[in-house]
Amino acid sequence: MSDESNKPKIVVAERLSASAMARLEAAGAVVVLEECDEPALIAAVADADALVVRTYAKVTAAVIEAAAGGPLKVIGRAGVGVDNIDLPAAAKAGIPVVHTPASCTYAVADLVVGLIIALQRGILPADARLRAGEFKQLRLEIPLRSELQYQTLGVIGMGRIGRAVSTRLHHGFGMRIIYHDIREVGWLPFAAESKPNHEAVYAEADVVTMHVPLTASTRGMIDAKALGHFKKGSFLFNTSRGPVVEAQPLADALNEGRLAGAAIDVFSPEPPPPDHPLRSAPNCILTPHIASRSKEGVAAMHDVVEDVIAVLEGREPTYQADPALS
């Protein structure tokens, strides 16, 4: 233990909610970092019992190595994805990584539905042009789209979020569902057809939505070759991880009219620089990594402190990350 009262030292790289911080403070001596870059993390973990991060702190192999031989017992990630933590290095060091994979399922699914409707019905440009004084001609120029009940939704990754999106769009809007997942997904609470590969989904879906973790196999999976398989006039939505989609090929597909539109909530890097190709691409809605940010979603992500405290107290955590996610 790391202070005179024998409380565990808990390093928080990015401040959490007042409720989460209070729970940590009741369990240990909390240190909140002013910076969360690699040097700051390396300096902080040498005598830490726990490290808690959010989105932008990168727990690299070097950070974990700096904790070797020290008291670090757990790394907590307040969120679903764990791609900012070197899981193999943590596993090798015997340090469990806990996260909140079920925290923002509904928040993300809700945003996906909203983005689909906003993009297909031209809500953003209609609002802007009406405010500029247009009306009658604008009504005639908004493209006519088929209703969602006549469209096919293609889901890449039928995990918690993919299922929540599908449930909303099948039962609520009547969309046909097709999907591909590298794992057996089992029973689904809606009618859906499994496809043998991603390409089969891309070729048939009117709307493709990405719900995959960032791994070596998903990084750059939507590239120029993949986009070549997409049904002409279809739409792409990415609320998973920025590096899953290569920005320049997507911008090219939008500029050339091969895709009717895209909505992107995550980027590589974040924030996207001024010359990011999607910032000037047509029919493209960009949002600043907000899919998970509902009141309930953020609160549930910060509940990772419960598993951090559990490990410190010698109890089993509810959600320990699988090193295979790396």
Q: What is the DSSP string of 98-149?
A: E--TTSSHHHHHHHHHHHHHHHHTTHHHHHHHHHTT--HHHHHHSPP---GG
Residue 3 has pLDDT above 80, yes or no: no
The string of pLDDT tens digits covering residues 133-152 is 999 999 999 999 999 999 99
| Contact between residue 320 and residue 304 where contact means Cβ atoms under 8 Å apart | no
Q: Which residues pair with 177 in a beta bridge?
A: 153
Q: How far apart are the first and last CA of the chain?
A: 30
Catalytic residue among 241, 246, 276, 306: 241
Rounded CA-CA distance 93/90 in Å is 5
289 labelled catalytic: yes
- Give the pLDDT confidence score for residue 2 in this predicted structure: 47
- Give the pLDDT confidence score for residue 259 in this predicted structure: 98
241 labelled catalytic: yes
76: left (phi over 0), alpha (psi -120 to 50) or beta: beta
CB-hemisphere CA count at 13 Å for 231? 18
Nearest to 112, CA basis, from 169, 185, 194, 191:
169
Residue 149 CB neighbours (<10 A)? 11
Rounded CA-CA distance 162/210 in Å is 8
Catalytic residue among 129, 229, 289, 293: 289
In the chain the domains, ranked by start, together with CATH numbers, are: 9-103+296-325 (3.40.50.720), 105-286 (3.40.50.720)
Catalytic residue among 35, 147, 270, 296: 270
Nearest to 84, CA basis, from 58, 63, 65:
58
When pLDDT is cut at 50, 70 and 90, the band that residue 324 belongs to is confident
Global confidence as pTM: 0.93
Find the mean pLDDT for residues 51-77.
97
Mean of pLDDT over the chain: 96
270 labelled catalytic: yes
- Give the pLDDT confidence score for residue 312 in this predicted structure: 98
Find the mean pLDDT for residues 251-271.
98
Q: Which residues pair with 9 in a beta bridge?
A: 29
Residue 206 has pLDDT above 50, yes or no: yes
The string of pLDDT tens digits covering residues 155-192 is 999 999 999 999 999 999 999 999 999 999 999 999 99
CA-to-CA dists, residue 301 to 45, 107, 112, 280, angstroms: 22, 11, 19, 33
Task: Rounding to the nearest 10 degrees, give the CA dihedral for residues 281, 218, 236, 174.
Answer: -170
Find the mean pLDDT for residues 248-253.
98
Burial class (CB in 10 A: 0-12, 13-18, 19+), 66: buried
Q: For helices 304-312 and 295-302, what crossing angle results, to 10°? A: 10
